[in-house]
Structure 1
Amino acid sequence: MRNFLLFLLTLLLVSCGTKESVATTAEASNAIATFQNPVLTGFYPDPAVCKANGQFYLTTSTFAYFPGLPIFTSNDLVSWKQIGNAMDRPSQMKLEGLEISRGNFAPGISFHEGTFYVICTLADAGGNFIVTATNPAGPWSDPYFLPEVDGIDPSIVFEGEKTYIVYNSIPPENKSLYSGHRTIRMVEFDRKNMKVVSDNKILVNGGTDLSKEPVWIEAPHIYDINDYYYLMCAEGGTGPQHSEVIFRSKDIWGPYEAWDENPILTQRDLDPSRANPVTTAGHADMVQMDNGDWWAVFLAVRPYEGNYFNTGRETFLAPVTWTEDGWPVINADFEEVQYSYPMPSGVAADNTLAPFAGNFDFEDEFTAGELDLRYLMLRTPSEKWYTMKDGTLDLQLRPTTVNELSNPSYVGFRQHHLVGEASTMLTFDPAKPGEQAGLVIFQNSRHNYTFIKTLIDGETVVKLLKATEDGNEELASAAAPDGPLRLQVSFVNDAYNFSYAGEAETFTTLAEGVPGKYLSTQEAGGFVGVTIGMYATSSGETSDNTASFEWFRYAGDDKILRK
């Protein structure tokens, strides 16, 4: 409470506007540390968190990107370090032929008796599975698939010697009373033999009030707290109507009662025209700190207009407050999810880590020998098509393109900000018209921009292409300068600018104000955010050619994230 009162004092002093109040504000700011939301900017949806050995661990969905299910660690819930991926071997998941928004849906992470468990749904590629590890950095096991768990969004519950899996599933007798009618079900699980050992039981039918036709009850987590089992779920669908709701029972198998003041988190009733909105909040998980305080991670988005956003669904953090009659509420002191809260009590942010929150720069000169953990590929690679040597990343030109549902030579980096830029230095000599290399701004196979160097009528050119249902549409082209080529993509909300330059030349704009709403999920559909990355292809032909990238740089500077 003391931290919260200091936080309110800081806000009050900021509003006063006098020289004296400015000085006092600085003193108040020094008296109380705050953190910045989102704690994971960019495409990090469906967060799940657990505590083990004094540390916190978190994972998020990655859908049909590889490697899958990043594993983060933190000692303060604010400063996160990626230490690995739960699905980092091609043998663990086969994603060939999948749309980018299929694959790894909504994981859960937990720790019990020395073992870490990640449970997830591999949509359209095997169903629900569990992987385990004694070291969260890996290696993680090959998946144990669970054919009896018919649904999505599973999580594991440990209760004494018993283990349970709770998940979203079909309506009773698979007969929907309305569109979006789902259930929450649970089975008992034998963790020693990795198999389901009971029939499923419905814990929640429809949602908090079946008579009101609630939709998409999902993302369940069960917590044993004091005298109750609390069942926390998302409801309303992962869009503007998203929310988080709570139930409880004296028995883990139910019956579960819904809190009469649900939801415990939502932004759906707020003015959509408010400044710098956070929307779509839900799909939460919560964890307790050593001092007894509870905090929740959840997904939300930062739209630049209406329901348009290109950064994807991001991971936010907010405090959990308990009512007098024992119900948890997320963000209880505010209507709006805040971009800044007081730090969790008793911890200090670790500013030595490479940041995932706020405004930051990222630069990679490819000297590490292996790809940085932040990078992503499209679907599972069947061969290694890149090498790193002498400070370059070399991509083989292969027939596959980013417009196919396969694994092209593409190394992507999340767009973390509404305002920013990405750039690279490319050394590449196309030998025939189909050979091309450069940068891609990727949402899905039919919604992406390729900014490439290629060959046309014997001339080397820089070209900008827009993916369509029928192939690629050329938006702009120009003669390429000799020697190494620098490519730069900058973006402000829904406008993207594409520029190029020789190694020591001033940038020339090829196209500006290119529509970014085309890259939003509002137009493109699906669940992922934009990635920007290095790309090489021979467009269906075989080739021995290689494209060399000397560095990759990313910089984000959202006004709302400036401290």
Structure 2
Amino acid sequence: MIRRLILPALAGLLCACGGGDEPTAGPADAEARFDWFSYEGRDEVFAQALGEGDYQNPILAGFYPDPSITQVGGDYYLVNSTFAYFPGIPVFHSTDLVNWMQIGNVIDRPGMLDFKDLGLSRGVFAPTIEHHDGLFYVANTCVDCGGNFIVTAEDPSGPWSDPVWLPEVGGIDPSLFFDEDGKVYLMNNDAPVGEPRYDGHRAIWIREIDPDTFQSISEPIVIIDGGVRPEENPIWIEGPHIYHVGEYYYLSSAEGGTAINHSQVLARADNVLGPYTPFEGNPVLTQRHLDPDREHPITSVGHADFVTDAEGNWWVSFLGVRPYEGDFYNTGRETFLMPVEWKDGWPIITEGDELVPYQAARPALPAAETPGIPMTGNFSLREEFDTPLDPYWLFVRVPQEEWWQVEEGALVLTSRAERLGDRKQPSVVARRQQHLTATAMTLVEFTPTPDSEAGLLAMQSDEYYFALGLGADEEGAHVIRLRRRAGGDQSPRGDVVAEVPVEFSSGEAVRFRIEADRDIYRFAYAVADGEFTAIGGDQDGKLLSTRTAGGFVGATFGMYAEKAD
């Protein structure tokens, strides 16, 4: 059993920062006391012995999409998208590109961004991180909540500045390039000049910005229109990065959409403003042409960012997914790592029918210690709540009141009328599902009433989730209830799949268990120290998949407490 690592905590999270109002104390409602939470992942592909000198892909398993990476001497820092979850944009640190430890979050206090009423797949998309002259920069988009912005920090673990908004920059996926002459450029995805010729017709734009204010000081120009082969009507050119190598500026972008046709394409120019000539061998990374029925497929790869190791070898981080059937996956888009080979002046990631590997030779860097909170491979983790919450825990949107506490070895949640399914800010504390086959468990002490419930959930969004909780019927008798919501046309509380009476003393503990086995989810409960009892039978877990639920997030397991209006 791997014990949790005490990292910089979320203590003091709800402070008056960034121009936001100071959150108020929550109402004196019924409280649910969660004494512990455990998670175990046991994927077949991770059970294979890791070769000596090899590393495991994905390097960040579970919902860690849109990686961006930067190097500062012997240190590497990586960020990911989190959409409308909070804290937003995790920051990871590594010294070997293989073992990653989360050291903080960029969006870590109310008032920085407002995710109110947003779907979970809106909010912060595709952050990019850069380092220049002792300062870290993250450029990002808050979709439906303000547009494009830049934040900075001297220490990547935080604190990060309040957002500097870029009102003249439209679209999404901003990234920065610091040229040797001191000029700073911003690239982004936006609509093309004039009317788009087809659905998905986008362009990559570039402009010079002021290095202090980040505001535009030149007119934006298009450097890629549509994609690298515009005659083929390519879709969703996005996620641009520029690298200056030798005599050329290389523009790397994702193309084809973030699903099974995803890819990475390159163009280069002898001037940062272009014109850019596409690589004839594009794409340099994709798996879209391979047999979808191959064993343990990795698909949808793209959105790449390059970096070098101590010997000058090139590596690339990118997103991919691990479907268990067809295009069904519940673990979201994950972060992978691969070596890069330069051929005839171009950085190549995959060629022909080359597979993205689950195991490969490590970078030429001293191996770092395995982090206390593992990010890949099979592992088990138990949270005893004896210290403030670590930064990997997630909240649904930004808390505006103090409805949780960590006290006396327990996570205490206040049951509130803002419930899962309402697109509000429910009393939910969650962690990512990082394995196709996984088990989450918790123990809760709670005295329910007919209008309250607390327990364990598996969720993909407000519209798609399972909730296994302790509640009460209209007469006040205690019941264990399994609910399922499978779409926005259902009631926010979903349908009751099963409900069974239970007898125990007020405040006595109940254990809950959720087992994910690829597309099957199973639920069970146990009173006090008793044996587990199954409830609800086998449930179709595909409702938690991206293919069914849509959006860009992965499934999470979480503890919740709620009450009726």
TM-score (norm 1): 0.89
Q: Does 1:115 align with 2:140?
A: no
Q: Does 1:198 align with 2:218?
A: yes
Aligned residue in 2 for 1:5:
none
Q: Residues 106-148 of structure 1, C-alpha deviation per residue, up to 9 Å, x if partnerless?
A: 0000000000001100000000001100001100000001011
Q: Does 1:449 align with 2:469?
A: no
- The 5-angstrom pairing of residues 106-505 of structure 1 reads 106-160=126-180, 161-173=182-194, 175-323=195-343, 325-332=344-351, 335-368=354-387, 370-431=388-449, 433-457=450-474, 458-467=476-485, 468=487, 469-471=489-491, 472-482=494-504, 483-505=508-530
Task: Give, as a single letter, the amino acid of the residue that structure 2 aligns with 1:308.
Answer: F
Cα shift at 1:193: 2.2
Cα shift at 1:423: 0.4
Task: Give, as a single letter, the amino acid of the residue that structure 1 aligns with 2:404.
Answer: Y
Aligned residue in 1 for 2:557:
532
Alpha-carbon distance in structure 1 between the residues aligned to 2:245 and 2:550: 38
Cα pair 1:286 1:297 within 8 Å, conserved: yes
Alpha-carbon distance in structure 2 between the residues aligned to 1:326 and 1:134: 35
Cα pair 2:70 2:130 within 8 Å, conserved: yes
Cα pair 1:70 1:84 within 8 Å, conserved: yes
Please say which of residues 353-362 and 152-161 is displaced more in the overlay.
Answer: 353-362
Task: Give, as a single letter, the amino acid of the residue that structure 1 aligns with 2:453.
Answer: Q
Alignment equivalent of 2:537, drawn from 502, 509, 512: 512
Alpha-carbon distance in structure 2 between the residues aligned to 1:103 and 1:82: 21
Q: Residues 380-425 of structure 1, C-alpha deviation per residue, up to 9 Å, x if partnerless?
A: 1111110111101100111111101111000011000000100000
Alpha-carbon distance in structure 1 between the residues aligned to 2:299 and 2:136: 32
Alpha-carbon distance in structure 1 between the residues aligned to 2:523 and 2:501: 14
- The 5-angstrom pairing of residues 69-88 of structure 1 reads 69-88=89-108
Cα shift at 1:353: 3.7
Task: Give, as a single letter, the amino acid of the residue that structure 1 aligns with 2:184.
Answer: T
Comparing both structures, which one devotes a greater share of its residues to helix? 1
Alpha-carbon distance in structure 2 between the residues aligned to 1:297 and 1:353: 22
Task: Give, as a single letter, the amino acid of the residue that structure 2 aligns with 1:394.
Answer: V
Cα pair 2:285 2:302 within 8 Å, conserved: yes
List alignment gaps of at least 5 residues for structure 1: 1-24, 541-563
Q: Residues 361-391 of structure 1, C-alpha deviation per residue, up to 9 Å, x if partnerless?
A: 12111001x2111110000111111011110
Alpha-carbon distance in structure 2 between the residues aligned to 1:340 and 1:397: 44
Task: Give, as a single letter, the amino acid of the residue that structure 2 aligns with 1:417.
Answer: H
Task: Give, as a single letter, the amino acid of the residue that structure 2 aligns with 1:316.
Answer: F
Alpha-carbon distance in structure 1 between the residues aligned to 2:351 and 2:370: 28
Cα pair 1:80 1:353 within 8 Å, conserved: no
Alpha-carbon distance in structure 1 between the residues aligned to 2:263 and 2:153: 32
Please say which of residues 451-460 and 467-476 is displaced more in the overlay.
Answer: 467-476
Q: Could you say which structure has the greater relative contact order, defined with CA pairs below 8 angstroms and 6 or more residues apart? A: 2
Alpha-carbon distance in structure 1 between the residues aligned to 2:559 and 2:371: 28
Alpha-carbon distance in structure 2 between the residues aligned to 1:154 and 1:451: 40
Cα shift at 1:292: 0.5
Alpha-carbon distance in structure 1 between the residues aligned to 2:104 and 2:213: 26
Cα pair 1:453 1:480 within 8 Å, conserved: no
Cα pair 1:50 1:58 within 8 Å, conserved: yes
Cα pair 1:79 1:353 within 8 Å, conserved: no
Alpha-carbon distance in structure 1 between the residues aligned to 2:220 and 2:422: 39
Cα shift at 1:333: 8.9
Please say which of residues 472-481 and 286-295 is displaced more in the overlay.
Answer: 472-481
Please say which of residues 467-476 and 523-532 is displaced more in the overlay.
Answer: 467-476
List alignment gaps of at least 5 residues for structure 2: 1-47
Alpha-carbon distance in structure 2 between the residues aligned to 1:504 and 1:461: 17
Alpha-carbon distance in structure 1 between the residues aligned to 2:266 and 2:366: 28
- The 5-angstrom pairing of residues 44-59 of structure 1 reads 44-59=64-79
TM-score (norm 2): 0.88
Task: Give, as a single letter, the amino acid of the residue that structure 2 aligns with 1:427.
Answer: E
Cα pair 2:95 2:365 within 8 Å, conserved: no
Please say which of residues 108-117 and 502-511 is displaced more in the overlay.
Answer: 502-511
Q: Residues 158-217 of structure 1, C-alpha deviation per residue, up to 9 Å, x if partnerless?
A: 0031101111110112x1111110000011111212322111110000001110000000
Q: Secondary structure at the match of 1:99?
A: coil
Q: Secondary structure at the match of 2:402?
A: coil
Cα pair 2:101 2:371 within 8 Å, conserved: no
Alpha-carbon distance in structure 2 between the residues aligned to 1:539 and 1:379: 20
Cα shift at 1:282: 0.4
Identity within the alignment, %:
44
Alpha-carbon distance in structure 2 between the residues aligned to 1:245 and 1:53: 28
Alpha-carbon distance in structure 2 between the residues aligned to 1:194 and 1:241: 34
Alpha-carbon distance in structure 2 between the residues aligned to 1:497 and 1:511: 8
Cα shift at 1:334: 6.3
Cα shift at 1:288: 1.0
Alpha-carbon distance in structure 1 between the residues aligned to 2:236 and 2:213: 32
Aligned residue in 2 for 1:16:
none
Cα shift at 1:470: 2.5
Cα shift at 1:539: 2.3
Alpha-carbon distance in structure 2 between the residues aligned to 1:225 and 1:143: 31
Cα pair 1:321 1:332 within 8 Å, conserved: no
Q: Secondary structure at the match of 2:543?
A: helix
RMSD of equivalent CA atoms: 1.4
Cα shift at 1:481: 4.4
